[in-house]
Amino acid sequence: MNLRGRRCIPVGTSSEETSTVRRMANGLATRRFGFLGGGAMAGALIKGLLQSRSVTADQIRASEVKAPRREELTKLFGIETTADNAALVGWADVVVVAVKPQIVDRVLPVIGDNLAPSALVVSIAAGVPIEVFEGALPPGSRVVRSMPNTAAIALAGATAISAGTHADEADMSVASALFEAVGRCVTLDESLLDAVTGLSGSGPAYIMVMIEALADGGVKVGLGRDVALLLAAQTVYGAAKLQLETGEHPGRLKDMVTSPGGTAIAGLHTLESGGLRRTLIDAVEVASNRSAELGRQMAARRTGGTRT
């Protein structure tokens, strides 16, 4: 697993110099990003790119069928928007496919007919295999598939990216920089993206259930709902931040909280009795298998056959 970290910027540079160094380092200085679809994830990526100063607003455009959303994107980010997918694809040299998976079949012909030979296609359409894109786009098209999660909206996302047949190191650097603008990014073989979908892609839903349950527990023992929810959410955030910043194994950090005969070990015993650990493992496995099944179904539709 290759965990790509933030790039180092020389000490003592001005903010303008820092921005220029960053843009040159990650290869984004001259890139034109076209977002095909202007939903929440596209908005998160645009926000991240601009806040990281990796690109400027005139390097970003988005196509969106809903006029109110186009107006909102322009107001929020100062970018140009359009309802013309073909024009967007023709303008961009990085086309970010940010439509729902069930819409991909509709936009692939537009991409294929207007994609510049040197352009990179980055897909965030969950469950859509690289072969679907490569089979519909001109021969030699460079494709990167990604699996981000909804925490990207809070610039705290977890994303995995995979290279298509023709994507090179520079393409992967651009894709990595795009997703590092909204959190952490790892590079994996495409065969592992279903596992990523089951873990971090679906994971925010699992964590929200845990936060809600912790808050319910707080209410049960006397805390007000608002206070309990705040404490539960901050506790989950703080625990995750502690693990990421220290790099310690979760078991070691758990032991730091667990004193002999204390409250934490009593609570942990209850969690183990209730099968929390096994239930979470099973949830990741089931979601991963479902992701693989959906991918096979989509690939089969494109080829007109049935795959097992």
Rounded Cα gap, residues 124 and 104, in angstroms: 10
In a shared domain, residues 157 and 226: no
In a shared domain, residues 184 and 254: no
Pick from 191, 221, 252: which residue ends a domain?
Answer: 191
The DSSP result for 184-200, as a single string, is EEEE--GGGHHHHIIII
C-alpha dihedral sign at 115, 117, 119, 125: positive
- Asked if residue 116 is part of any domain, the answer here is yes
Q: What pLDDT digit, counting tens, does each position of 37-47 carry?
A: 999 999 999 99
Pick from 191, 211, 241: which residue ends a domain?
Answer: 191
In a shared domain, residues 23 and 112: yes
In a shared domain, residues 142 and 50: yes
Pick from 191, 224, 250: which residue ends a domain?
Answer: 191
**CATH code (residue 246):** 1.10.3730.10
Contacts of 30 (CB under 8 A, 6+ apart): none
- Comparing CA positions, the residue from 35, 44, 43 lying closest to residue 63 is 35
Q: Which residues of the chain have pLDDT under 50?
A: 1-25, 306-308
In a shared domain, residues 260 and 119: no
- Asked if residue 18 is part of any domain, the answer here is yes
Indicate the pairing of strand 2-4 with strand 183-187: antiparallel
- Asked if residue 287 is part of any domain, the answer here is no
In a shared domain, residues 24 and 170: yes
Note whether 64 and 80 are within 8 A (CB): no
- Comparing CA positions, the residue from 90, 93, 81, 92 lying closest to residue 39 is 81
Write out the two tokens for 201. 């892609």
Note whether 204 and 151 are within 8 A (CB): yes
- Asked if residue 135 is part of any domain, the answer here is yes
Domain that holds residue 116: 2-191
In a shared domain, residues 232 and 179: no
- Asked if residue 288 is part of any domain, the answer here is no
Rounded Cα gap, residues 227 and 244, in angstroms: 26
- Asked if residue 284 is part of any domain, the answer here is no
The pLDDT of residue 127 is 85
The pLDDT of residue 79 is 97
- Comparing CA positions, the residue from 30, 34, 29 lying closest to residue 80 is 34
C-alpha dihedral sign at 7, 12, 14, 20: negative
The pLDDT of residue 3 is 41
In a shared domain, residues 156 and 233: no
**CATH code (residue 53):** 3.40.50.720
In a shared domain, residues 37 and 121: yes
b/e burial code for range 53-68 (CB count within 10 A of at least 16 → b)? bbbeeebbbbbbeeee
Mean pLDDT of the residues in the chain: 90
DSSP code, position 27? T
In a shared domain, residues 145 and 253: no
The pLDDT of residue 307 is 45
- Asked if residue 258 is part of any domain, the answer here is yes
- Asked if residue 285 is part of any domain, the answer here is no
Total domains in the chain come to 2
Query: Residue 290: exposed, middle, or buried by beta-carbon count in 10 A (0-12, 13-18, 19+)?
Result: middle
In a shared domain, residues 184 and 252: no
* Secondary element (H or E) of residue 122: strand 120-123
In a shared domain, residues 44 and 183: yes
Q: What pLDDT digit, counting tens, does each position of 87-143 carry?
A: 999 999 999 999 998 899 999 999 999 999 999 999 999 888 999 999 999 999 999
